[in-house]
Amino acid sequence: MVASDQSTALEDVARYAPIRLVISGLFNLFFGGPFFGVAGIVVYAVWWSYQPHTQHVDPAPWPLVFAAVIPFLLSLPGLSAALKRLLGAFARGCYLRAGRQGIELRMPTERYAFRFRIERRFLAWPEIKDVQRHVFKINGIPTSSSLRLAAARRHQDRDRPLLFP
């Protein structure tokens, strides 16, 4: 019984690297934060010009506040990605295991705006069509990579390959 348990056990084949998610989150925060700051400065400048102690200054028109909408909207994707990756970096119990039965993954995956969740998947070897390491590049410079698992049959809840950073 012990020999059969050992032959069917899944073994860790990769380590979870939270520092990569922290660096990526800080990078997104670095680029999303200034847009958010510009939006805040515009709103504050308009608000300040309407205060009683600024009677000698012509107040800024309130429609100028709508100029803050564009930098605010530009900041949302960067801040959302930063928050998801920084929170995902501190997730516990993440692994990539493989054995005779197949592959088991437990990793944080990015969801909609400002949300992520820990997904746990088990795929038997017959269900796996292809395993690829995909490298994302910006202007030819590798920026990040992900593991892409193409299932032989599609899962009911997804119509795309499984992606794990």
pTM of structure: 0.61
Picking from 120, 126, 112, the residue whose alpha carbon sits closest to that of residue 162 is 120
Regarding whether 66 and 81 lie in a shared domain, the answer is: yes
Q: Which residues does residue 96 pair with via DSSP β-bridges, in sequence order?
A: 14, 105
Looking at residues 18-47, what average pLDDT do you find? 85
More confident residue, 154 or 121: 121
Whether 22 and 62 map to the same domain: the answer is yes
How high is the pLDDT of residue 6? 47
What's the pLDDT at 7?
Answer: 47
Q: Do 23 and 79 sit in the same domain of this protein?
A: yes
Number of domains in the chain: 2
Query: In whole numbers, what is the pLDDT of the chain averaged over residues?
Result: 78
Asked if 38 and 52 sit in the same domain, the reply is yes
Domain boundary at 68, 91, 114, which? 91
Looking at the fold, whether 48 and 97 belong to one and the same domain comes out as no
Q: Which residue has the higher pLDDT, 45 or 2?
A: 45
Query: Domain residues for 78?
Result: 17-91
105-118 tens-digit pLDDT: 888 777 777 777 88
pLDDT recorded at residue 155: 54
Please tell me whether residues 107 and 78 are part of one structural domain. no
Domain co-membership, 140 together with 155: yes
pLDDT at 120 over 80: yes
b/e code 78-95 from CB counts within 10 Å (16+ = b): bbbbbbbbbebbebeebe
Does 144 lie in the same domain as 121?
Answer: yes
pLDDT at 4: 44
Q: Which tens digit of pLDDT belongs to each residue from 6-16?
A: 446 888 887 77
72 and 31 assigned to the same domain:
yes
Amino acid in position 139: N
User: How many Cα atoms are found within 13 Å in the side-chain-facing hemisphere of 20?
Assistant: 9
Which domain-ending residue is among 45, 61, 91? 91
What digits encode the pLDDT tens for the residues 60-102?
Answer: 676 777 788 888 888 888 888 888 888 888 888 888 888 888 8
Residue 46: which residues within 8 A CB-CB, separation 6 or more?
59, 60, 61, 62, 64, 65
